[in-house]
Amino acid sequence: MALLDDIRDPRDLKRLSREDLPQVADELRAEVVRACSKVGGHLASSLGAVELTVALHYLYDSAHDRIVWDVGHQTYGHKILTGRRDRIGTIRTDGGLAGFTTSSESEHDALTVGHASTSLAASLGMALSRDARGEDYDIVAVIGDGALTGGMALAALNQIGHVKPRMTIVLNDNEMSISENVGALTHYLSTVQVQRWFQDAEKGSKQALTGVWEPLADLGSRAKKAARRFLDPASNNPFHAMGVRYVGPIDGHDIEQLLYYLEHIRRLDGPTMLHIITRKGKGYRVAEKDPITWHGASSFDPEHPVAKGKAFSWSNAFGRAASAMADADDRVWVITPAMREGSGLVDFSRAHPDRFIDVGIAEDVAVTVGAGLALRGEKPIVAVYSSFLQRGYDQVIHDVSLESLDVIFAIDRAGLVGGDGATHQGIYDMAYLRAIPNLAIGMPSDVGELRGMLKAAFRLGGPRAIRWPRGPVEEAPAGAFEAWPELAWGSWEILKRGSEVSLLAMGPTLAYALDVAGDDPRVGVVNARFVKPIDVAVLSALARSQRALITVEDHTVMGGLGSAVAEALADLGIAVALHRLGVPDVTVPHGTPARQHEALGYGPEGIRAVLATLGIGLGAESVTEVEPQATASRRSAVANASK
Ligand SMILES: Cc1ncc(C[n+]2csc(CCOP(=O)(O)OP(=O)(O)O)c2C)c(N)n1
């Protein structure tokens, strides 16, 4: 009988006997696989945390106690056990469950999260409040070895060891971030695993040798004891040294062991770290074998799981371009904060291992390492997702822009990102970067422009941000760096002249603008590919000759292209009707970007609606699903037609 069918709430889990728990874990695992096979998601991390999830919910009351999952991507099992089983197949889709823990979704989600390394500081805050108010509940932070590489986590640990609140920290160590984990702590954690192996070996050899040849057994054990002392956690353990009690490592797939240790730790004063060893993808062969591919899976056939081939993407285009740049000039380095795969850098890391740096989940460090390299005359590219660069904001200002250093920020996932949702939306970078002196910003609409911008950034020097969206892009034949197009930084491109109104769009919204304008002579289209500086000459000519301008951007309207245009018009003293379309002042959850663009008013229908208010009705014949990424062919069609 399926036990999961009777678990509507963690209280139902607690009614089961301990012997039943492994079966619950198996069922949870199957359910996670089923859900991910339908809609994709963070499969491997959730599979690796199934036993831990069962143990935590068996022991703690998650509605009252606080279980603080770091990142929140490993919580599909937690969601199933906490009343969301019937909706788990909707995870990350429009209107469905969020892909991470989200407080507004459930009282069992202690933290709204998605970015890594926040669990320890948040748990400390909760513990401070609890203790100040004399309340009584448990706090358990669950953090992966990857998330522990983040400066926030380490700084919080430093403070936890100082304040010493009663809390449990479960270090879920699978030796993986998205790719292989990096850093000195990672090396330390694997040393501790060797120690565990040593202890097991010692036990095994004792049993095998007892009664056979005692002196040999004794000799073996004495040598091992000496080695063990060398690796003794009490003397060498960095967590201990920071004031956090350390226990482990233990097998994180053994529920009995997990319960045994968690129960004991729960009664202890002060902070205690339980180090558990798990396997990413546990229990599902393909995910165990290739946890990198199955970290974030697309939908698949659960009987014959094969990872779907992905279309050529902006990230791939960047990775190739970066390799060509590094081939052409040995001062080119690429720095990633733990996003080798996502940023399209696997090939680069193989071709140029000496100039590829993965700093772990530490965006601040990535930016300042870039600054250090640039200070010594190198040409670093900091490859980072738009939403994660938020973590390196001060470093962009303080370490890079003040000295106007030659650092290229290669910003991936700009715009709405789909399933990852609110925490990952790349819709603030233009707003937060535009205010920084010396920093220039562009957004290509096809691969040729991407290369042109990278080439211009490399040649011109100074801090330059180039942003592009998530998803596919039309591939262009690879070429040597020297042969890439020349592009004047700051220049806009008039794709179509209109007699009355111009649409100013950038990146993915350019396809919308071109589609809506069609061949209507009243509506022009401009590729407003730079927001800093903007093309004042083109803008002022347009503003003086048109009765309205409409900016269209996949970014918050506050501070992006529309703001840049409004500010420039004000400075020029030109009064012209300006309509700014983009993300209004709201948070945007997970969903299908093209649908969300439409719902937020900056898809093709939204543009048509604004044109209609200006008396420019455009026939419904062009109401088609527009693929926002397919800009290159649309641009060249328009360019050819207007020749
Ligand atoms: C600030 C930030 N940078 C990057 C990411 C992307 N990211 C999501 S999960 C992950 C790896 C986390 O590794 P770990 O904590 O060990 O968990 P595991 O997936 O191995 O269980 C990364 C880098 C993120 N969520 N937040």
pLDDT by residue (tens digit) across 290-341? 999 999 989 999 989 988 888 999 999 999 999 999 999 999 999 999 999 9
pLDDT digits (tens, 9 = 90+) for 519-548: 999 999 999 999 999 999 999 999 999 999
Q: What is the mean pLDDT of residues 158-178?
A: 96
pLDDT for the residue numbered 637 = 61
Percent of the chain scoring above 90 in pLDDT = 85
Instruction: Report the nearest atom of ligand 1 relative to the CA of 42.
Output: 19
Query: Between the CA of residue 426 and those of 413, 417, 431, 442, 554, what are the distances in Å?
Result: 6, 7, 11, 15, 9
Phi first, then psi, for residue 15 (nearest 5°) are -75, -15
Is residue 221 scored above 70 in pLDDT? no
Per-range mean pLDDT, top range of 176-185, 229-238, 247-256, 470-479: 247-256
Contact 40, 299 (CB under 8 A): yes
Give the model's confidence band at 236: pLDDT under 50 very low, under 70 low, under 90 confident, else very high: confident
The residue nearest atom 21 of ligand 1, judged by CA position, is: 45
Residue 497: predicted pLDDT: 96
Ligand 1 centroid distance, CA of 337 (Å): 10
Q: What is the mean pLDDT of residues 197-206?
A: 53
Ligand 1: nearest atom to the Cα of 45: 21
pLDDT at 226 over 50: no
pLDDT confidence of residue 19: 97
Flag whether pLDDT at 217 surpasses 50.
Answer: no
pLDDT of residue 617: 86
Q: Is the pLDDT of residue 214 over 60?
A: no
177 lines ligand 1 (CB under 6 A): yes
Residues tagged active-site: 280, 363, 391
Q: Is the CB of 93 under 6 A from ligand 1?
A: no
Q: Does any ligand 1 atom lie closer than 6 A to the CB of residue 361?
A: yes
Query: Contact, 233 vs 153, CB < 8 A?
Result: no
- Atom of ligand 1 at shortest range from CA of 48: 21
Closest CA to 359 of 377, 384, 378, 335: 335
Look at residue 206 in the predicted model and tell me its pLDDT: 46
Q: How far is the CA of 529 from the centre of ligand 1 (A)?
A: 32
Q: With 70 as the cut, is the pLDDT of residue 224 above it?
A: no
Ligand 1 centre and the CA of 589: distance in Å?
19
Give the pLDDT of residue 209: 38
**pLDDT of 215 over the 60 cut:** no
| CB 45 less than 6 A from any atom of ligand 1 | yes
Instruction: Examine the pLDDT at 147 and tell me if it is beyond 80.
Output: yes
Read off the pLDDT band of 593 (50, 70, 90): very high
Query: For 351-382, how does the pLDDT look when each residue is reduced to its tens digit (9 = 90+)?
Result: 999 999 999 999 999 999 999 999 999 999 99
Q: Residue 481: CA atoms inside 13 Å, Cβ hemisphere, count?
A: 19
Mean pLDDT for the chain?
A: 92
Cα-based angle 165, 169, 170 (whole degrees, multiple of 5): 165
Q: Determine whether the shortest distance from the Cβ of 529 to ligand 1 is under 6 A.
A: no
Calculate how far, in angstroms, residue 33's C-alpha sits from the geometric centre of ligand 1.
20
Both tokens assigned to 108: 């069992």
Ligand 1, closest atom to CA 174? 20
Please tell me the least confidently modeled range out of 437-451, 452-466, 624-638. Answer: 624-638
Read off the tokens for 581.
């379309």
Percent of residues, the chain, with pLDDT higher than 70: 89
Arithmetic mean of pLDDT, 88-115: 98
Query: Residue 111 C-alpha to ligand 1 middle, in angstroms?
Result: 16
pLDDT for residue 220: 47
Whether pLDDT at 631 is above 90: no
Helix (H), strand (E), coil (C) string for 576-635: CEEEEEEECCCCCCCCCHHHHHHHCCCCHHHHHHHHHHCCCCCCHHHCCCCCCCCHHHHH
Give residue-wise pLDDT tens across range 456-503: 999 999 999 999 999 999 998 878 999 999 999 999 999 999 999 999
DSSP E strands: which ranges in 175-279?
A: 245-251, 271-277
| H-run or E-run covering 357 | strand 356-358
How does strand 379-385 pair with strand 408-412?
parallel
**Is pLDDT above 60 for 125?**
yes
Biggest alpha carbon–alpha carbon distance for the chain? 99
Distance 147 CA to ligand 1 centre (A): 6
Does the CB atom of residue 170 touch ligand 1 within 6 A?
no
Cα separation, 422 vs 425, in Å, equals: 6
pLDDT given for residue 638 in this prediction: 61
How far is it, in rounded angstroms, from Cα 205 to Cα 295? 38
Position 213 confidence tier, pLDDT thresholds 50, 70, 90: very low
Cβ–ligand 1 contact at 280 (below 6 Å): yes
